[in-house]
Structure 1
Amino acid sequence: MITSPHQKYQQTQLHTASPAQLLLMLYDGAIRFSRVGISAIEEKNYEKANVNLCKAQAVIHELIAALNYDYPIAKTLYQVYEYMIHQLINANLKKNTKPAEEVVSYLLDLREAWDTANKSLNAASEQPK
């Protein structure tokens, strides 16, 4: 049950977001959880690290589930996402921030690429015909 105004706002945002916006939200979540996991490893708070790195993996699994295999890029993205999950597992098991930091850099690059593509499509669709 949703009780706080912030939770209501978040739910409304999810229900009214475009597919591209939802994708960007997934990237934002994976980045946020990975960064919290990295910070927790640095603080030697391994329980917090585990929880957040597992959440980041779950978000990346959602990105995999959202892939459309009608496009050739989907197979490549699948491989990249699988690699990211592997690196997050490594970071979690070995309590090493380097693999998770690598994942964050890839997530940031992919998020930027999707954001740019979305803005380009929106600009093109707003052009008078």
Structure 2
Amino acid sequence: MAYGAQPHLAYQQNSVTTATPEELTLKLYSGCIRFIKLAKKAMEENNIQDKNTNIQKAQDIIRELMVTLNMDYDISHQLMPLYEYMNHQLLQANIKNDPALLEEVQGMAEDFRETWQQVMKANKLQKQAR
């Protein structure tokens, strides 16, 4: 399917290929949150297939965040166990069909996203001050 037939696909592709690494990280957090919300909705509707698919997508994002951590920084050594915990909780939520576990991971992802947004703003202000 050509992107010309579906302009939103071209936009999405372009927004990813032109994003900075910082913006991509923000997109990953947002995507994780979105998939967790979809998984919760599927749980409520007893739609096991969609629940499983969306939890797995959230796990894929967490794993991507893990493999892209730069372990040269101390903060990465603090983030890795948190990401591992989030991934484990998502697995448990899927196995136990437990929306409370999804809520916990969603809250963590929202906190990470908010913190990341603040870091991006601070970096932008710092660059402007130079």
TM-score range, shorter chain: over 0.9
TM-score where L is the length of structure 2? 0.95
* Inter-partner Cα distance in structure 2 for 1:119 and 1:93: 38
1:2 is displaced (CA, Å) by 4.3
| Structure 1 runs, 4 residues or longer, greater than 4 Å off | none
For residues 91-110 of structure 1, what are the structure 2 equivalents within 5 Å?
91-110=93-112
1:7 paired with 2:9, answer yes
1:58 is displaced (CA, Å) by 0.3
CA-atom RMSD, angstroms? 0.9
TM-score where L is the length of structure 1? 0.96
* Inter-partner Cα distance in structure 1 for 2:117 and 2:109: 12
* Inter-partner Cα distance in structure 2 for 1:115 and 1:2: 34
Match of 1:76 in 2: 78
* Inter-partner Cα distance in structure 2 for 1:2 and 1:90: 39
* Inter-partner Cα distance in structure 2 for 1:11 and 1:2: 12
Q: Which runs of 5+ in 2 are unaligned?
A: none
Change (3 A) 1:81 1:2: farther
For residues 59-74 of structure 1, what are the structure 2 equivalents within 5 Å?
59-74=61-76
Identity %: 41
